[in-house]
Structure 1
Amino acid sequence: AVIAQAFVGNRNIVADAAADLTAIKERDPSNTEILTPFLYFKGFVALQGQRVAHWLWHHDRLHLARHIQSRISEVFGVDIHPAARMGRSIMLDHGSGLVIGETAVVEDDVSILQNVTLGGTGKDTGDWHPKVRRGALIGAGAKILGNIEIGVGAKVGAGSVVINTVAAYTSVAGIPARQVGKRHFNLPGITMDQTLSEPEYTI
């Protein structure tokens, strides 16, 4: 009943879920249809639960939103704060170990692999989590910390620790993360191109 109330209260929740399913179908080479992720992919299911929790959070039902967050974390191993702002056409591949903090923003067309953290850097308050812009790709195990921006079409290599803003259409890797290769001009969150050595282009 609570979920149905959220769906009626914000019809974009269902539309966003459909866009997420389409994104998985188009980006995940292990899957060619939408029924399997709808039923079994914990990244997808966890994200839809967060969308409901987000609606509850903004309707002053904070404890119920927290309860949904807690159950998602317990069942799926995915911990997304109810207040985090999630776009559409997002793929949370595998989902296991994913943590997204309260003031984080993940825009449209982003893909995030397992064991990623979008976290803070201590006891900062206010706005203290990363902003991941449209079409970015975050590799497995990456840790992105603080109120920094991962620019449009940026790419973060697996296992990287990112503590500074990443420019648009730039690939970074390492601990701490540094730019690698040349700038690119596509949206790796859609193409799923995880290579870090890019050919040079000019505008």
Structure 2
Amino acid sequence: MNPVADHEVWSQIRIEAERDAQAEPILAPYLTAAILRHDTLTEALAAILGVKLGTDQVPADSIASLVREAYATDPQLIRSVIADLQAVATRDPACGGYTSPLLHFKGFQSLQAYRAAHVFWNQERCATALYLQGRISEVFAVDIHPAARIGKGIMFDHATSVVIGATAVVEDDFSMLHEVTLGGTGKQDGDRHPKIGRGVMIGAGAKVLGNIQVGEGAKIGAGSVVLDPVPPHTTVAGIPARPVSFPAHSFPALEMDQSFDAMSDLVESLASWEPAAEESDTPR
């Protein structure tokens, strides 16, 4: 994403906020404090997360300062924020623009707060990172360990009861719904959580457990329990999950189509598939 596109997104956010402030004068002070008095998206995001996550002991201004510090430390993070905003705006039919996820969608907000916690975790400021994790969980009901690695262009739809473990990896252009767990299978140490490829979609209530690979463009049906690797561009469902079809689109996350397609030659196509030996690096 180039700087012009970044500027265009922030300009559109301000246009939407000014429109809503004029249409609903009772909301004008809130929209001014959250968006219109700020010069950049980073400043607005920090203010919003500060209000959401602040407490009497660690007030809103302190949280906002931490968020600004994290995003200043890694300027690439704002590109992830914009990619996430665009993901929600294009994939969620309930989203009427950029201000809705920025101000109201806890899936988006929790993800951006996690990004700040991840910066502090990488700096070995673990107390700060874990404090933010706890507040994110309390406020948004989304529990993401700050060590997890999550790409950009991500949508957590509804997001309640999402859990992502410490060694999980999620690549770009990913979508999932509420009550999804990317977890382990026991108390073992080390690399113990799933590796999710680009463009994967995971339906509501699905549990993906263990250090397994979910291939690029895969789709996991709602309510499934996934214990084995999932080949790329394959739909799995059930308890335990088994291949049931092929997704109709190369990257199901972009289409959010949760239906199952016809079987075709699925069994033959999967017979020789083996998961990759090494995981790929994932940008923040």
TM over 0.5: yes
Structure 1 stretches of 4+ moved >4 Å? 199-203
Among 213, 231, 239, the alignment partner of 1:175 is 239
- The answer to whether residue 214 in structure 2 is matched with residue 150 in structure 1 is yes
Q: Is the 8 A contact 1:183 1:198 kept in 2?
A: no
TM-score, length-scaled by structure 1: 0.96
Q: Is the 8 A contact 2:148 2:166 kept in 1?
A: yes
Q: Which residue is 2:104 aligned to?
A: 40
Q: Which residue is 1:9 aligned to?
A: 73
Aligned residues: 203
Q: Is the 8 A contact 1:20 1:44 kept in 2?
A: yes
Higher relative contact order (CA 8 A, sep 6+): 1
Q: Which residue is 2:142 aligned to?
A: 78
Provide the C-alpha distance between the structure 1 equivalents of 2:262 and 2:161, rounded to a whole number of angstroms. Answer: 29
Shift of 1:32: 2.7
- The answer to whether residue 180 in structure 2 is matched with residue 116 in structure 1 is yes
Greater share of residues in helix: 2
Q: Is the 8 A contact 2:155 2:174 kept in 1?
A: yes
- The answer to whether residue 260 in structure 2 is matched with residue 196 in structure 1 is yes
Amino acid in structure 2 at the alignment position of 1:18:
I
Percent pairwise identity: 51
**Higher mean Cα deviation, 3-12 or 160-169?**
3-12
Which of these two proteins has the greater Rg computed from alpha carbons?
A: 2
**RMSD of the alignment, in Å?**
1.6
Provide the C-alpha distance between the structure 2 equivalents of 1:185 and 1:100, rounded to a whole number of angstroms. Answer: 26
Amino acid in structure 2 at the alignment position of 1:8:
A
Provide the C-alpha distance between the structure 1 equivalents of 2:177 and 2:262, rounded to a whole number of angstroms. Answer: 21
Shift of 1:198: 3.8
Q: Is the 8 A contact 1:183 1:201 kept in 2?
A: no
Shift of 1:2: 1.4
Provide the C-alpha distance between the structure 2 equivalents of 1:57 and 1:172, rounded to a whole number of angstroms. Answer: 34
- The answer to whether residue 202 in structure 2 is matched with residue 138 in structure 1 is yes
